[in-house]
Chains A and B, each alone.
With several copies, the nearest count.
Chain A
Amino acid sequence: MSACTRDEWMTVAAARLLRDRSVCFVGIGLPSAACNLARLTHAPEIVLIYESGTIGTRPQVLPLSIGDGELAETAACVVPLPEVFSYYLQAGRIDVGFLGAAQIDRHGNLNSTVIGPYGAPKTRLPGAGGAPEIALHARQVFVMARATKRSFVERLDFRTSAGYLDGHGARARLGAAGGGPRAVITDFGMLAPHPQSEELQLVALFADASVEEARAAVGWPLGVADRIDTIAAPTALELDTLRALNARTREAHARPVRIPL
Chain B
Amino acid sequence: MSAAILSLAEAIERYVADGASVALEGFTHLIPFAAGHEIIRQRKRELHLIRMTPDLVYDQMIGMGCARKLTFSWGGNPGVGSLHRLRDAVEHGWPRPLELDEHSHAGMAAAFCAGAAQLPFGMLRGYIGTDLPAHNPNIRRVECPFTGEMLAAVPAINPDVTILHAQRADRAGNVAIDGIVGAAREAALAAKTLVVTVEELVDALPPAMNGIVLPHWVVGAVVPCRGGAYPSYAHGHYARDNAFYQRWDAIARERGSFLAWMEEHVLGTRDHHAFLARLQQEAA
Measured CB to CB, the residues of A under 8 A from B are 21-23, 28-29, 45, 47, 51-56, 63-69, 71-72, 76-82, 85-87, 89-93, 109, 113, 118-119, 121-133, 135-137, 158-162, 165, 171, 174-177, 253-254, 256-261
Contact = CB atoms under 8 A, between A and B. Distances in A.
A254 to B, nearest CB: 7
Given A28-B79, A76-B174, 9 more contacts: A77-B208, A77-B210, A78-B210, A91-B116, A118-B135, A132-B107, A133-B104, A133-B124, A136-B126
Contacts of B279: 259
Contacts of B218: 93
B58 interface: no
Interface of B: 1-2, 27-29, 52-53, 72-76, 78-80, 82-83, 86-87, 90-91, 102-107, 109-110, 112-113, 116-119, 124-132, 135, 149, 172, 174, 179-183, 185-186, 189, 205, 208-213, 215, 217-218, 226-227, 230-231, 233-235, 237-245, 273, 276-277, 279-280, 283
B191 to A, nearest CB: 11
Which of A87, A109, A158, A161 is packed against the most chain B CB atoms within 10 Å?
A87
Contacts of B242: 64-65, 253, 257
Interface centre among B87, B124, B231, B244 (most CB of A within 10 A): B124
B105 A91 contact: no
Contact of B276 (A91, A133, A259): A259
Contacts, number: 258
Nearest to A85: B106
A29 B231 CA distance: 20
Nearest to A112: B74
A75 B51 CA distance: 25
Contact of B180 (A71, A87, A119, A261): A71
B28 A260 contact: no
Nearest to A136: B128
5 A-B pairs with the lowest CB-CB distances in the bound complex, closest first: A67-B28, A162-B129, A126-B76, A260-B227, A129-B74
Nearest to B234: A260
Choose among A22, A55, A68, A127 the residue with the greatest number of B CB atoms under 10 Å from its CB.
Answer: A127
20 contacts: A53-B27, A53-B181, A56-B215, A76-B213, A78-B210, A80-B181, A80-B185, A82-B113, A90-B125, A91-B118, A123-B91, A128-B73, A133-B106, A159-B130, A171-B129, A175-B128, A256-B243, A257-B242, A259-B227, A259-B230
A87 B131 contact: no
B73 A129 contact: yes
A52 B28 contact: yes
Nearest to B52: A81
A130 B106 contact: yes
Contacts of B90: 121, 124
Contacts of B210: 77-79
Contact of B217 (A65, A93, A118, A132): A93
A259 B131 contact: no
A169 to B, nearest CB: 13
A123 B82 CA distance: 10
A55 B213 contact: yes
B268 to A, nearest CB: 17
Contact of A69 (B1, B29, B182): B29
Contacts of B1: 21-23
Contacts of B74: 126-130
Given A52-B182, A69-B239, A77-B209, A64 B245 contact: yes
